[in-house]
Amino acid sequence: MRAIRAFAAMAAAFALSHVLFAGGQNAAPQGAGQPPGQGPAVKPAAPPKTAGPGAAGDKAFDPHVLTGTWTGDVMSTNLPAANLGRKPRPPRFTNLAMYDLTDPEPPLTPWAKEHLMMKSIAGNALGDRGTDFDPNGIPANDPKGEFPGKDCEPLAAPAIYDDPVKTVYEFIPSRDGNRLFQFVSRQREWRTFFFNQDHPKDVDPSYEGHSTAKWDGNTLVVDTVGFNDKTMISQNVAHWKSETFRLVERFTRTSHDYLELEMTMFDPKAWGEKSWGGYRKYFKLVPDSTFQEAICNPRDLDENGRIRAVGVNR
């Protein structure tokens, strides 16, 4: 009997060691499936799950993967905030083109009031649809006023997020993982986020600026500097950026189908040492969407420099 028991124990131990050995051979090596530069490898035995809209357990997803096509999230404004993993939205967010903005703009410097102000804007005054002037006294809701992309000018960030329900945003990583491309259907713009590098010491000012990226936990942090002074912050802000404008974007995939963006802006020439945060936008995954042609042709503009461009095909 003792011999039988000993033999059974040896057989069980052999079977267990065989299973462990096979599992070790089939397990992904450290960093497998995750390109370099895109944060730590995320390949758990069971992919993490996050509660999503309308379901206790959403589809499995990797929070370090933003690859795919996204558009403005408008249907989830009435869903419980707990399902979306964020705070309830204020009633003012019913204006889809405006941001979920919690912080007021810092006071402008005397230099900004002299050099950056516009004559008028075509959009609503920031945070208030019922007024004809912005907080700095600039006329709003003027059909002939300034707006992002007027006369086919580039939009640039953060104005690329002004009209998300008519725009598709696609993230595509480079093969080596050192870059992440963001494509914007509206006016066919794109940006490059560079991992594992700093900003150049002398950045030539450009419309899109220079962007570096890194992971902070499950949040992708994109830091952009080197903007020129030829684009708007948004359609609701009645002054231009200066060449010291800096944008920090924090992308967090809160569930398989939802992405949240929080932005903080800096502009020493405009606001001195103060920053402007509290800018938020929300997006949903639209895997079956395609980029429609949304090219701005000056010949198609109306008398106010506006062209209709729709970027979502659903």
Two structure tokens written together for 259: 């992405």
Residue 51 has pLDDT above 70, yes or no: no
Q: Which of 65-79, 155-169, 196-210 has the lowest mean pLDDT?
A: 65-79
Are the CB atoms for 207 and 230 separated by under 8 Å? yes
Nearest Cα residue to 244 out of 260, 255, 228, 231: 228
In a domain, 241, yes or no: yes
Quick: pLDDT tens for 221-266.
999 999 999 999 998 899 999 999 999 999 999 999 999 999 999 9
Q: 190 vs 104, 141, 200, 204, 283, CA distance in Å?
A: 29, 29, 20, 18, 18
By residue range, what is the domain housing residue 80? 68-300
Report if residue 12 sits inside a domain.
no
> Is the pLDDT confidence value at 36 over 60?
no
291 inside domain: yes
| Cα-based torsion angle of the residue sequence 106, 110, 112, 118 in order, rounded to the nearest 10 degrees | 100
Q: Is residue 76 part of a domain?
A: yes
The answer to whether residue 57 sits within a structural domain is: no
Terminal alpha carbon distance of the chain:
71
Predicted TM-score (pTM) of the model is 0.74
Task: Report yes or no on 25 lying in a domain.
Answer: no
For residues 96 and 115, what is the distance between their CA atoms, to the nearest angstrom? 30
| Tally of structural domains, the chain | 1
Instruction: Reply yes or no on whether the pLDDT at 139 is more than 90.
Output: yes
What's the token pair of residue 174?
């480079």
Q: Is residue 209 part of a domain?
A: yes
Residue type, 73: D
What are 64-84's pLDDT values in tens digits?
Answer: 999 999 998 864 443 434 334
Does some domain include residue 279? yes
